[in-house]
Chains A and B, each alone.
Chain A
Amino acid sequence: MIYAQILAGGKGTRMGNVPMPKQFLSLADKPILIHTIEKFVLESRFTAILVACPQDWLSHTQDLIKKYITDDRVQVVIGGAERNETLMNGIAYIHEHYGEHDDDIIVTHDAVRPFVTGRIINDNIEAALKHAAVDTVVAAIDTIVQGTSEEIETIPLRSTMFQGQTPQSFNIKTLVSSYNSLSNQQRATLSDACKIVLLAGHTIKEVRGENFNFKITTPYDLRVANALVERRG
Protein backbone atom coordinates (compact mmCIF):
# COMPACT_ATOMS: atom_id res chain seq x y z
CA MET A 1 0.00 0.00 0.00
CA ILE A 2 1.00 3.59 -0.52
CA TYR A 3 1.03 6.12 2.31
CA ALA A 4 1.88 9.79 2.63
CA GLN A 5 3.25 11.54 5.66
CA ILE A 6 3.29 15.30 5.84
CA LEU A 7 5.81 16.45 8.39
CA ALA A 8 4.40 19.43 10.23
CA GLY A 9 6.41 19.00 13.40
CA GLY A 10 8.41 22.23 13.12
CA LYS A 11 8.31 24.84 15.83
CA GLY A 12 9.08 27.70 13.49
CA THR A 13 12.07 29.06 15.34
CA ARG A 14 13.51 30.64 12.18
CA MET A 15 10.32 32.63 11.58
CA GLY A 16 11.52 35.30 13.95
CA ASN A 17 9.11 36.55 16.54
CA VAL A 18 6.04 34.71 15.29
CA PRO A 19 4.79 32.46 18.09
CA MET A 20 2.92 30.16 15.69
CA PRO A 21 4.77 27.37 13.85
CA LYS A 22 5.28 28.37 10.22
CA GLN A 23 3.16 25.57 8.76
CA PHE A 24 0.08 27.24 10.29
CA LEU A 25 0.78 30.72 8.91
CA SER A 26 -1.43 32.01 6.16
CA LEU A 27 -0.60 31.85 2.45
CA ALA A 28 -3.27 33.05 0.00
CA ASP A 29 -5.91 33.05 2.78
CA LYS A 30 -5.28 29.48 3.94
CA PRO A 31 -2.76 27.88 6.30
CA ILE A 32 0.33 26.68 4.43
CA LEU A 33 -0.23 23.17 5.79
CA ILE A 34 -3.69 23.01 4.22
CA HIS A 35 -2.35 23.94 0.77
CA THR A 36 0.15 21.10 1.12
CA ILE A 37 -2.45 18.55 2.27
CA GLU A 38 -4.72 19.55 -0.65
CA LYS A 39 -2.06 18.43 -3.13
CA PHE A 40 -1.76 15.00 -1.51
CA VAL A 41 -5.52 14.51 -1.32
CA LEU A 42 -5.63 14.69 -5.14
CA GLU A 43 -3.62 11.43 -5.36
CA SER A 44 -6.11 8.57 -5.09
CA ARG A 45 -3.47 5.86 -4.61
CA PHE A 46 -2.72 6.93 -1.02
CA THR A 47 -4.36 4.63 1.50
CA ALA A 48 -3.75 7.16 4.28
CA ILE A 49 -2.30 10.66 4.47
CA LEU A 50 -0.74 11.23 7.89
CA VAL A 51 -0.10 14.71 9.17
CA ALA A 52 2.49 14.75 11.95
CA CYS A 53 2.22 17.81 14.18
CA PRO A 54 3.73 18.94 17.50
CA GLN A 55 1.90 17.70 20.62
CA ASP A 56 0.97 21.27 21.63
CA TRP A 57 -0.67 21.92 18.29
CA LEU A 58 -2.68 18.72 17.98
CA SER A 59 -6.14 20.21 18.47
CA HIS A 60 -5.30 23.23 16.28
CA THR A 61 -4.17 20.91 13.45
CA GLN A 62 -7.28 18.76 13.83
CA ASP A 63 -9.53 21.85 13.79
CA LEU A 64 -7.90 23.17 10.61
CA ILE A 65 -8.23 19.83 8.83
CA LYS A 66 -11.87 19.58 9.90
CA LYS A 67 -12.47 23.08 8.55
CA TYR A 68 -10.79 22.71 5.16
CA ILE A 69 -10.40 19.02 4.24
CA THR A 70 -13.21 16.52 3.66
CA ASP A 71 -11.06 13.49 2.82
CA ASP A 72 -11.17 10.95 5.67
CA ARG A 73 -7.81 9.45 4.60
CA VAL A 74 -6.17 12.46 6.30
CA GLN A 75 -5.22 11.60 9.90
CA VAL A 76 -3.24 13.50 12.50
CA VAL A 77 -0.40 11.86 14.41
CA ILE A 78 1.93 13.32 17.04
CA GLY A 79 5.44 14.11 15.86
CA GLY A 80 8.62 13.09 17.64
CA ALA A 81 11.47 15.09 19.14
CA GLU A 82 13.24 15.26 15.79
CA ARG A 83 12.47 14.58 12.15
CA ASN A 84 13.39 10.91 11.95
CA GLU A 85 11.61 10.09 15.18
CA THR A 86 8.51 11.76 13.70
CA LEU A 87 8.90 9.61 10.60
CA MET A 88 9.13 6.46 12.69
CA ASN A 89 6.06 7.50 14.72
CA GLY A 90 4.11 7.72 11.48
CA ILE A 91 5.30 4.29 10.39
CA ALA A 92 4.34 2.82 13.79
CA TYR A 93 0.86 4.29 13.29
CA ILE A 94 0.64 2.71 9.82
CA HIS A 95 1.70 -0.69 11.16
CA GLU A 96 -0.82 -0.48 13.98
CA HIS A 97 -3.76 0.51 11.78
CA TYR A 98 -3.05 -1.05 8.39
CA GLY A 99 -0.63 -3.91 9.07
CA GLU A 100 2.80 -4.56 7.52
CA HIS A 101 3.45 -5.55 3.92
CA ASP A 102 6.79 -5.97 2.17
CA ASP A 103 5.88 -3.63 -0.67
CA ASP A 104 4.45 -0.76 1.43
CA ILE A 105 5.86 2.64 0.52
CA ILE A 106 5.71 6.00 2.23
CA VAL A 107 5.98 9.41 0.58
CA THR A 108 7.19 11.94 3.16
CA HIS A 109 6.92 15.66 2.57
CA ASP A 110 7.58 18.92 4.40
CA ALA A 111 4.36 20.70 5.34
CA VAL A 112 6.05 23.98 4.43
CA ARG A 113 6.58 23.09 0.76
CA PRO A 114 3.06 23.88 -0.50
CA PHE A 115 4.16 24.35 -4.13
CA VAL A 116 4.76 20.62 -4.63
CA THR A 117 3.12 19.37 -7.81
CA GLY A 118 1.09 16.32 -8.76
CA ARG A 119 3.89 15.36 -11.15
CA ILE A 120 6.51 15.33 -8.38
CA ILE A 121 4.25 13.24 -6.11
CA ASN A 122 3.51 10.83 -8.95
CA ASP A 123 7.19 10.52 -9.87
CA ASN A 124 7.99 9.74 -6.23
CA ILE A 125 5.39 6.99 -6.09
CA GLU A 126 6.50 5.45 -9.38
CA ALA A 127 10.16 5.52 -8.34
CA ALA A 128 9.50 4.22 -4.80
CA LEU A 129 7.61 1.24 -6.22
CA LYS A 130 10.86 0.23 -7.96
CA HIS A 131 13.60 1.54 -5.63
CA ALA A 132 14.21 1.34 -1.89
CA ALA A 133 14.56 5.09 -1.46
CA VAL A 134 13.81 8.20 -3.51
CA ASP A 135 14.90 11.81 -3.10
CA THR A 136 13.56 14.86 -4.93
CA VAL A 137 16.36 17.12 -6.13
CA VAL A 138 17.08 20.14 -8.28
CA ALA A 139 20.43 21.06 -9.80
CA ALA A 140 22.38 23.52 -7.67
CA ILE A 141 22.31 27.00 -9.17
CA ASP A 142 24.88 28.60 -6.89
CA THR A 143 28.33 27.11 -6.60
CA ILE A 144 28.55 25.06 -3.42
CA VAL A 145 31.57 25.69 -1.26
CA GLN A 146 32.49 23.41 1.60
CA GLY A 147 34.32 24.50 4.71
CA THR A 148 33.89 26.29 7.99
CA SER A 149 32.29 29.70 8.41
CA GLU A 150 35.78 31.15 8.20
CA GLU A 151 37.49 29.31 5.37
CA ILE A 152 36.68 27.34 2.25
CA GLU A 153 38.15 23.85 2.24
CA THR A 154 36.94 22.67 -1.13
CA ILE A 155 34.77 23.74 -4.06
CA PRO A 156 33.05 20.69 -5.56
CA LEU A 157 32.16 20.59 -9.25
CA ARG A 158 28.80 22.33 -9.53
CA SER A 159 27.45 19.97 -12.19
CA THR A 160 27.58 17.15 -9.63
CA MET A 161 25.82 19.20 -6.92
CA PHE A 162 22.07 19.02 -6.30
CA GLN A 163 19.80 20.50 -3.68
CA GLY A 164 17.58 18.07 -1.84
CA GLN A 165 13.90 18.86 -1.55
CA THR A 166 10.97 16.73 -0.48
CA PRO A 167 9.09 14.46 -1.02
CA GLN A 168 11.45 11.71 0.04
CA SER A 169 9.94 8.29 -0.45
CA PHE A 170 10.82 4.87 0.90
CA ASN A 171 10.02 1.24 0.91
CA ILE A 172 8.88 1.15 4.54
CA LYS A 173 10.49 -2.19 5.34
CA THR A 174 13.89 -1.06 4.04
CA LEU A 175 13.64 2.26 5.88
CA VAL A 176 12.81 0.63 9.22
CA SER A 177 15.51 -2.05 8.93
CA SER A 178 18.04 0.61 7.87
CA TYR A 179 17.11 2.82 10.85
CA ASN A 180 17.39 -0.12 13.25
CA SER A 181 20.80 -1.06 11.84
CA LEU A 182 22.34 2.34 12.65
CA SER A 183 24.30 3.02 15.81
CA ASN A 184 23.22 5.82 18.16
CA GLN A 185 26.27 7.75 17.00
CA GLN A 186 25.20 7.39 13.39
CA ARG A 187 21.65 8.38 14.25
CA ALA A 188 22.97 11.55 15.86
CA THR A 189 24.45 12.59 12.51
CA LEU A 190 21.20 12.20 10.57
CA SER A 191 20.10 15.45 9.02
CA ASP A 192 17.95 13.84 6.39
CA ALA A 193 15.77 10.74 6.08
CA CYS A 194 17.50 9.58 2.89
CA LYS A 195 20.75 9.44 4.83
CA ILE A 196 19.27 6.61 6.92
CA VAL A 197 19.15 4.25 3.96
CA LEU A 198 22.36 5.66 2.46
CA LEU A 199 24.32 4.85 5.65
CA ALA A 200 22.76 1.37 5.60
CA GLY A 201 24.27 0.83 2.15
CA HIS A 202 21.30 1.31 -0.17
CA THR A 203 21.22 3.45 -3.30
CA ILE A 204 18.81 6.35 -3.62
CA LYS A 205 16.92 7.14 -6.80
CA GLU A 206 16.65 10.80 -7.79
CA VAL A 207 13.42 12.43 -8.93
CA ARG A 208 13.37 15.85 -10.57
CA GLY A 209 12.01 18.58 -8.29
CA GLU A 210 11.20 22.17 -9.19
CA ASN A 211 12.90 25.34 -8.06
CA PHE A 212 9.51 26.68 -7.02
CA ASN A 213 9.01 23.71 -4.69
CA PHE A 214 10.89 25.68 -2.05
CA LYS A 215 10.63 25.48 1.71
CA ILE A 216 8.94 28.38 3.47
CA THR A 217 11.29 28.86 6.39
CA THR A 218 11.83 32.55 6.96
CA PRO A 219 9.58 35.64 6.91
CA TYR A 220 11.25 36.51 3.60
CA ASP A 221 10.20 33.13 2.12
CA LEU A 222 6.62 33.73 3.21
CA ARG A 223 6.59 37.17 1.59
CA VAL A 224 7.96 35.65 -1.62
CA ALA A 225 5.40 32.82 -1.48
CA ASN A 226 2.51 35.25 -1.04
CA ALA A 227 3.80 37.39 -3.89
CA LEU A 228 3.95 34.34 -6.16
CA VAL A 229 0.34 33.27 -5.74
CA GLU A 230 -2.22 34.83 -8.02
CA ARG A 231 -5.96 34.77 -7.30
CA ARG A 232 -8.12 33.40 -10.11
CA GLY A 233 -10.24 36.31 -11.41
Chain B
Amino acid sequence: MLNQVYRLVAARQFEVQTVAETVTANDLVIRPRFLSICHADQRYFTGNRPQAILKQKLAMALIHEGVGEVVEDPQGDFKPGTLVTMIPNTPAEKDPIIEENYLPTSKFRSSGYDGFMQEYVCLARDRVLKLPENFDPQMSAFIEMISVGVQGLSQLENVMDADNKVIGIWGDGNLGYITAVLVKQLFPTSQLIIFGRHQSKLTYFSFSDQTYLVDEIPAGLQISQAIECTGGRGSEQAIAQIIAHLRPMGTAILMGVSEDPVGIDTRDVLAKGITLRGTSRSGRQDFEKAIDILAASPVTRERLQNLIGYTCQVHTIQDIINFFEHNLTNYWGKAVMEWDV
Protein backbone atom coordinates (compact mmCIF):
# COMPACT_ATOMS: atom_id res chain seq x y z
CA MET B 1 0.00 0.00 0.00
CA LEU B 2 1.30 3.46 -0.89
CA ASN B 3 0.95 5.70 2.14
CA GLN B 4 1.41 9.45 2.36
CA VAL B 5 3.44 10.38 5.44
CA TYR B 6 3.52 14.02 6.61
CA ARG B 7 7.00 14.47 8.03
CA LEU B 8 8.77 17.32 9.74
CA VAL B 9 11.92 17.78 7.65
CA ALA B 10 13.29 20.87 9.40
CA ALA B 11 12.04 23.32 12.01
CA ARG B 12 8.56 24.56 11.00
CA GLN B 13 8.72 22.66 7.68
CA PHE B 14 6.58 19.64 6.80
CA GLU B 15 6.73 17.60 3.61
CA VAL B 16 4.63 14.74 2.34
CA GLN B 17 6.59 11.61 1.51
CA THR B 18 5.26 8.36 0.02
CA VAL B 19 6.05 5.12 1.81
CA ALA B 20 5.30 1.59 0.53
CA GLU B 21 3.75 -0.21 3.51
CA THR B 22 3.56 -3.95 3.95
CA VAL B 23 0.36 -4.91 5.75
CA THR B 24 0.61 -8.36 7.34
CA ALA B 25 -2.30 -10.42 8.67
CA ASN B 26 -1.38 -9.24 12.17
CA ASP B 27 -1.66 -5.55 11.24
CA LEU B 28 -4.53 -3.12 11.14
CA VAL B 29 -4.81 -0.12 8.85
CA ILE B 30 -6.06 2.94 10.73
CA ARG B 31 -7.18 6.29 9.37
CA PRO B 32 -6.19 8.93 11.98
CA ARG B 33 -9.15 11.11 13.04
CA PHE B 34 -8.15 13.31 16.02
CA LEU B 35 -4.53 14.00 16.93
CA SER B 36 -3.24 15.83 19.98
CA ILE B 37 0.04 17.73 20.32
CA CYS B 38 2.40 17.11 23.22
CA HIS B 39 5.33 19.26 24.34
CA ALA B 40 7.81 16.86 22.74
CA ASP B 41 6.18 17.39 19.31
CA GLN B 42 6.30 21.11 19.87
CA ARG B 43 10.01 21.00 20.68
CA TYR B 44 10.68 19.19 17.41
CA PHE B 45 8.47 21.62 15.47
CA THR B 46 10.31 24.69 16.76
CA GLY B 47 13.71 23.00 16.45
CA ASN B 48 14.18 23.34 20.20
CA ARG B 49 16.28 20.19 20.57
CA PRO B 50 20.05 19.84 20.20
CA GLN B 51 21.09 19.97 16.53
CA ALA B 52 22.66 16.50 16.72
CA ILE B 53 19.32 15.03 17.89
CA LEU B 54 17.36 16.84 15.18
CA LYS B 55 19.81 15.64 12.54
CA GLN B 56 19.46 12.07 13.75
CA LYS B 57 15.65 12.01 14.07
CA LEU B 58 14.32 14.13 11.21
CA ALA B 59 12.65 13.65 8.77
CA MET B 60 9.92 12.16 10.95
CA ALA B 61 6.14 12.28 11.25
CA LEU B 62 5.18 13.91 14.56
CA ILE B 63 2.38 13.13 17.06
CA HIS B 64 2.06 10.14 19.34
CA GLU B 65 -1.38 10.92 20.79
CA GLY B 66 -4.43 10.14 18.70
CA VAL B 67 -7.50 8.17 17.79
CA GLY B 68 -8.40 6.74 14.43
CA GLU B 69 -10.87 4.57 12.59
CA VAL B 70 -10.07 1.05 11.50
CA VAL B 71 -10.29 0.85 7.72
CA GLU B 72 -8.86 -2.62 7.22
CA ASP B 73 -8.51 -5.64 9.46
CA PRO B 74 -7.32 -8.74 7.58
CA GLN B 75 -8.65 -10.93 10.40
CA GLY B 76 -12.04 -9.21 10.64
CA ASP B 77 -11.98 -8.63 14.41
CA PHE B 78 -12.49 -4.87 14.02
CA LYS B 79 -15.31 -3.63 11.81
CA PRO B 80 -14.46 -0.75 9.45
CA GLY B 81 -15.21 2.54 11.20
CA THR B 82 -14.41 1.26 14.70
CA LEU B 83 -12.87 4.08 16.73
CA VAL B 84 -9.63 3.02 18.37
CA THR B 85 -6.85 4.56 20.39
CA MET B 86 -3.37 3.97 18.99
CA ILE B 87 -0.49 2.92 21.24
CA PRO B 88 2.72 4.69 20.15
CA ASN B 89 5.06 2.43 22.09
CA THR B 90 6.08 -0.54 19.95
CA PRO B 91 8.03 -3.26 21.77
CA ALA B 92 10.42 -5.47 19.84
CA GLU B 93 10.83 -8.10 22.59
CA LYS B 94 9.28 -9.34 25.84
CA ASP B 95 11.09 -9.30 29.16
CA PRO B 96 9.91 -11.02 32.35
CA ILE B 97 11.01 -8.08 34.52
CA ILE B 98 11.18 -4.91 32.45
CA GLU B 99 7.85 -3.49 31.25
CA GLU B 100 7.46 -2.82 27.50
CA ASN B 101 7.62 0.94 27.97
CA TYR B 102 11.05 0.78 29.66
CA LEU B 103 12.71 -1.68 27.29
CA PRO B 104 15.49 0.14 25.43
CA THR B 105 14.67 -1.83 22.27
CA SER B 106 11.09 -0.53 22.15
CA LYS B 107 10.39 2.00 19.43
CA PHE B 108 8.36 5.05 20.25
CA ARG B 109 6.44 7.00 17.62
CA SER B 110 7.39 10.61 17.04
CA SER B 111 10.65 9.92 18.86
CA GLY B 112 12.86 8.06 16.44
CA TYR B 113 10.29 6.76 14.03
CA ASP B 114 7.16 7.99 12.32
CA GLY B 115 4.30 9.25 14.48
CA PHE B 116 0.62 9.44 13.54
CA MET B 117 0.69 12.29 11.00
CA GLN B 118 0.09 9.91 8.14
CA GLU B 119 -2.66 9.20 5.63
CA TYR B 120 -2.97 5.73 7.18
CA VAL B 121 -1.17 4.22 10.17
CA CYS B 122 -0.30 0.52 9.96
CA LEU B 123 -0.23 -0.93 13.47
CA ALA B 124 0.19 -4.39 14.95
CA ARG B 125 -3.21 -5.36 16.37
CA ASP B 126 -1.99 -5.36 19.98
CA ARG B 127 -1.15 -1.65 19.56
CA VAL B 128 -4.81 -0.73 19.19
CA LEU B 129 -7.68 -0.61 21.70
CA LYS B 130 -11.36 -0.18 20.87
CA LEU B 131 -13.04 2.80 22.53
CA PRO B 132 -16.52 2.81 24.05
CA GLU B 133 -19.00 4.67 21.86
CA ASN B 134 -19.85 7.25 24.53
CA PHE B 135 -16.27 8.58 24.66
CA ASP B 136 -15.75 12.06 23.27
CA PRO B 137 -13.36 11.52 20.31
CA GLN B 138 -11.45 14.76 20.93
CA MET B 139 -10.84 13.88 24.56
CA SER B 140 -9.92 10.37 23.44
CA ALA B 141 -7.19 11.89 21.26
CA PHE B 142 -5.07 12.37 24.40
CA ILE B 143 -5.75 9.01 26.07
CA GLU B 144 -2.03 8.37 25.57
CA MET B 145 -1.26 11.21 27.98
CA ILE B 146 -3.93 9.91 30.37
CA SER B 147 -2.23 6.51 30.21
CA VAL B 148 1.06 8.19 31.13
CA GLY B 149 -0.71 9.53 34.23
CA VAL B 150 -1.99 6.02 34.92
CA GLN B 151 1.57 4.68 34.57
CA GLY B 152 2.81 7.25 37.10
CA LEU B 153 0.08 6.49 39.63
CA SER B 154 0.47 2.71 39.16
CA GLN B 155 4.15 3.07 39.97
CA LEU B 156 3.24 5.24 42.98
CA GLU B 157 0.92 2.47 44.23
CA ASN B 158 3.71 -0.10 43.75
CA VAL B 159 6.36 1.89 45.59
CA MET B 160 4.70 4.04 48.25
CA ASP B 161 4.17 3.17 51.91
CA ALA B 162 0.73 2.83 53.53
CA ASP B 163 0.27 6.57 54.09
CA ASN B 164 -1.95 8.06 51.37
CA LYS B 165 -3.54 10.79 53.49
CA VAL B 166 -2.22 13.77 51.49
CA ILE B 167 -1.12 13.55 47.87
CA GLY B 168 0.64 16.55 46.38
CA ILE B 169 1.05 17.31 42.68
CA TRP B 170 3.63 19.85 41.49
CA GLY B 171 2.64 21.29 38.11
CA ASP B 172 -0.45 23.14 36.85
CA GLY B 173 -0.11 22.19 33.18
CA ASN B 174 -1.75 19.44 31.15
CA LEU B 175 0.03 16.51 32.79
CA GLY B 176 -0.59 17.96 36.26
CA TYR B 177 -4.29 18.37 35.48
CA ILE B 178 -4.66 14.84 34.03
CA THR B 179 -2.80 13.27 36.94
CA ALA B 180 -4.87 15.26 39.43
CA VAL B 181 -8.12 14.05 37.82
CA LEU B 182 -6.83 10.46 38.05
CA VAL B 183 -5.76 10.86 41.69
CA LYS B 184 -9.33 11.89 42.56
CA GLN B 185 -10.59 8.71 40.92
CA LEU B 186 -7.89 6.28 42.18
CA PHE B 187 -7.35 7.73 45.69
CA PRO B 188 -10.84 9.00 46.56
CA THR B 189 -10.20 9.26 50.29
CA SER B 190 -6.89 11.14 49.96
CA GLN B 191 -6.54 14.89 50.29
CA LEU B 192 -5.28 16.29 46.97
CA ILE B 193 -3.11 19.42 46.91
CA ILE B 194 -1.88 21.11 43.71
CA PHE B 195 1.23 23.30 43.68
CA GLY B 196 1.52 25.59 40.65
CA ARG B 197 3.01 28.77 39.27
CA HIS B 198 -0.14 30.33 37.78
CA GLN B 199 -3.21 31.22 39.85
CA SER B 200 -5.28 31.37 36.63
CA LYS B 201 -4.40 27.74 35.87
CA LEU B 202 -4.88 26.58 39.44
CA THR B 203 -8.50 27.74 39.28
CA TYR B 204 -9.18 24.91 36.78
CA PHE B 205 -8.39 22.39 39.55
CA SER B 206 -11.74 23.02 41.27
CA PHE B 207 -12.01 19.33 42.23
CA SER B 208 -8.80 19.39 44.31
CA ASP B 209 -8.91 19.97 48.05
CA GLN B 210 -6.36 22.77 48.08
CA THR B 211 -4.10 24.68 45.69
CA TYR B 212 -0.97 26.69 46.43
CA LEU B 213 1.23 28.96 44.38
CA VAL B 214 4.76 27.54 44.69
CA ASP B 215 6.07 30.68 46.38
CA GLU B 216 3.29 30.68 48.96
CA ILE B 217 3.51 27.16 50.41
CA PRO B 218 3.10 27.18 54.23
CA ALA B 219 6.41 26.19 55.84
CA GLY B 220 4.98 23.42 57.98
CA LEU B 221 2.87 21.79 55.27
CA GLN B 222 3.47 18.05 54.99
CA ILE B 223 2.39 15.66 52.29
CA SER B 224 2.36 11.85 52.26
CA GLN B 225 3.30 11.23 48.64
CA ALA B 226 4.26 13.55 45.78
CA ILE B 227 4.06 13.66 42.00
CA GLU B 228 6.24 15.98 39.96
CA CYS B 229 4.64 17.08 36.66
CA THR B 230 6.61 20.23 35.89
CA GLY B 231 9.57 19.23 33.73
CA GLY B 232 11.99 21.64 32.09
CA ARG B 233 13.54 24.32 34.24
CA GLY B 234 10.77 23.97 36.82
CA SER B 235 11.87 20.46 37.79
CA GLU B 236 14.67 21.50 40.12
CA GLN B 237 12.55 23.81 42.27
CA ALA B 238 9.66 21.33 42.30
CA ILE B 239 11.89 18.45 43.43
CA ALA B 240 13.47 20.67 46.12
CA GLN B 241 10.01 21.61 47.44
CA ILE B 242 8.86 17.99 47.33
CA ILE B 243 11.88 16.92 49.38
CA ALA B 244 11.18 19.73 51.84
CA HIS B 245 7.47 18.94 52.32
CA LEU B 246 7.42 15.15 51.95
CA ARG B 247 7.03 13.13 55.13
CA PRO B 248 9.88 10.74 55.97
CA MET B 249 9.81 7.62 53.77
CA GLY B 250 7.44 9.23 51.34
CA THR B 251 7.69 8.60 47.59
CA ALA B 252 8.06 11.16 44.84
CA ILE B 253 7.08 10.13 41.33
CA LEU B 254 9.03 12.15 38.76
CA MET B 255 7.11 12.60 35.51
CA GLY B 256 8.29 15.90 34.00
CA VAL B 257 10.86 15.73 31.20
CA SER B 258 13.90 17.97 31.51
CA GLU B 259 16.44 18.59 28.75
CA ASP B 260 19.24 19.35 31.23
CA PRO B 261 20.36 17.58 34.42
CA VAL B 262 18.85 19.04 37.61
CA GLY B 263 20.41 19.36 41.07
CA ILE B 264 18.86 17.23 43.84
CA ASP B 265 19.54 17.67 47.58
CA THR B 266 20.52 14.05 48.21
CA ARG B 267 21.44 14.80 51.87
CA ASP B 268 17.75 15.40 52.65
CA VAL B 269 16.65 12.51 50.41
CA LEU B 270 18.89 10.22 52.46
CA ALA B 271 17.98 11.78 55.81
CA LYS B 272 14.25 11.29 55.18
CA GLY B 273 14.52 7.94 53.39
CA ILE B 274 12.67 9.33 50.39
CA THR B 275 12.08 7.21 47.30
CA LEU B 276 12.41 8.97 43.96
CA ARG B 277 10.79 6.97 41.16
CA GLY B 278 11.08 8.06 37.55
CA THR B 279 8.24 7.15 35.21
CA SER B 280 7.83 7.82 31.58
CA ARG B 281 5.95 6.42 28.63
CA SER B 282 3.04 4.11 29.07
CA GLY B 283 2.40 0.59 27.81
CA ARG B 284 -0.67 -1.31 26.67
CA GLN B 285 -1.64 -2.15 30.27
CA ASP B 286 -1.81 1.56 31.13
CA PHE B 287 -4.01 2.24 28.10
CA GLU B 288 -6.37 -0.56 29.17
CA LYS B 289 -6.53 0.82 32.70
CA ALA B 290 -7.07 4.38 31.43
CA ILE B 291 -10.03 3.24 29.31
CA ASP B 292 -11.49 1.30 32.26
CA ILE B 293 -11.16 4.36 34.51
CA LEU B 294 -12.82 6.64 31.95
CA ALA B 295 -15.58 4.13 31.19
CA ALA B 296 -16.40 3.77 34.89
CA SER B 297 -16.57 7.47 35.69
CA PRO B 298 -18.54 10.07 33.69
CA VAL B 299 -17.22 12.75 36.07
CA THR B 300 -13.63 11.86 35.20
CA ARG B 301 -14.49 12.02 31.49
CA GLU B 302 -16.16 15.40 31.94
CA ARG B 303 -13.17 16.83 33.81
CA LEU B 304 -10.82 15.59 31.10
CA GLN B 305 -13.05 16.98 28.36
CA ASN B 306 -12.57 20.37 30.03
CA LEU B 307 -8.90 20.05 29.10
CA ILE B 308 -9.65 20.25 25.37
CA GLY B 309 -8.17 23.62 24.47
CA TYR B 310 -7.62 24.67 20.88
CA THR B 311 -9.28 22.48 18.25
CA CYS B 312 -9.07 22.82 14.49
CA GLN B 313 -9.71 20.82 11.34
CA VAL B 314 -6.60 20.49 9.17
CA HIS B 315 -6.70 19.85 5.44
CA THR B 316 -3.35 21.02 4.13
CA ILE B 317 0.28 21.25 5.19
CA GLN B 318 -0.23 24.97 5.75
CA ASP B 319 -3.12 24.16 8.13
CA ILE B 320 -0.79 21.83 10.07
CA ILE B 321 1.85 24.56 10.38
CA ASN B 322 -0.80 27.07 11.51
CA PHE B 323 -2.05 24.57 14.08
CA PHE B 324 1.40 24.06 15.60
CA GLU B 325 2.05 27.81 15.56
CA HIS B 326 -1.25 28.51 17.29
CA ASN B 327 -0.48 25.90 19.93
CA LEU B 328 2.67 27.85 20.85
CA THR B 329 0.44 30.63 22.16
CA ASN B 330 -2.18 28.29 23.61
CA TYR B 331 -2.31 29.09 27.33
CA TRP B 332 -4.43 26.25 28.62
CA GLY B 333 -5.39 22.75 27.60
CA LYS B 334 -4.61 20.21 24.94
CA ALA B 335 -4.63 21.25 21.28
CA VAL B 336 -6.46 18.66 19.17
CA MET B 337 -6.54 18.64 15.38
CA GLU B 338 -9.19 16.91 13.33
CA TRP B 339 -7.05 15.12 10.76
CA ASP B 340 -8.44 15.48 7.26
CA VAL B 341 -5.25 15.88 5.23
Check if B119 sits within 8 Å of A118, measured CB to CB: yes
Mark contacts of A21-49 with chain B using CB atoms, 8 A cut-off: 1 yes-contact digit, 0 otherwise: 00000001110000100110111100000
Given A38-B2, A39-B2, 18 extra CB contacts under 8 A: A35-B2, A38-B1, A39-B1, A41-B72, A42-B29, A42-B120, A44-B71, A115-B2, A117-B119, A118-B119, A119-B119, A119-B340, A210-B16, A212-B16, A228-B18, A229-B2, A231-B19, A232-B21
User: Is B245 in the interface zone, CB < 8 Å from A?
Assistant: no
The complex places the Cα of A116 from the Cα of B17 at a distance, in Å, of 13
Measured between beta carbons, the chain B residues less than 8 angstroms from A114 are 2
User: Is B318 in the interface zone, CB < 8 Å from A?
Assistant: no
Total chain A interface residues with beta-carbon distance under 8 A: 24
Q: How many inter-chain contacts with C-beta < 8 Å in the A-B complex?
A: 57
Contact of B17 among A29, A35, A44, A230 (CB under 8 A): A230
User: Is B22 in the interface zone, CB < 8 Å from A?
Assistant: yes
Check if A44 sits within 8 Å of B81, measured CB to CB: yes
User: Is A195 in the interface zone, CB < 8 Å from B?
Assistant: no
Mark contacts of B177-197 with chain A using CB atoms, 8 A cut-off: 1 yes-contact digit, 0 otherwise: 000000000000000000000
A207–chain B nearest beta-carbon distance, Å:
11
User: Is B9 in the interface zone, CB < 8 Å from A?
Assistant: no
Q: Which residues of B contact A (CB under 8 A)?
A: 1-2, 4, 16-22, 29, 31, 71-72, 74, 80-81, 119-120, 315, 340-341
| B-facing residues in A183-233 (Cβ within 8 Å) | 208, 210, 212, 228-232
Measured between beta carbons, the chain B residues less than 8 angstroms from A29 are 20
Q: Would you give 7 A-B contacts (Cβ < 8 Å), ordered by A?
A: A28-B2, A70-B74, A119-B341, A212-B18, A229-B20, A230-B19, A232-B20
Closest B residue to A36 by beta carbon equals: B2
Given A42-B72, A44-B80, A212-B4, also A118-B20 (CB < 8 A) = no
Q: Which of A35, A42, A43, A231 has the most CB of B within 10 A?
A: A42
